[in-house]
Amino acid sequence: MGEHRGVKFPREVLDRFSSLGVDLPSYFSAGHLGTRMGIEVVEAAPEKVVGTMPVEGNTQPYGLLHGGASAVLAETLGSVGAMLHGGPEKVAVGVDLNCTHHRGLSSGHVTGTATPVHRGRSTATYEIVITDESGRRVCSARLTCLLRDAPRPPATA
Residues that are catalytic: 75
Residue 99 to residues 28, 71, 135, 150, 151, Cα–Cα distance (Å): 24, 7, 18, 28, 30
8 Å CB contact between 22 and 13: no
8 Å CB contact between 137 and 131: yes
Q: What is the DSSP letter of 132?
A: -
Listed residue (100, 85, 93) closest to 137, CA to CA: 100
**What is the amino acid identity at position 29?**
S
Strand partners, 2: 9
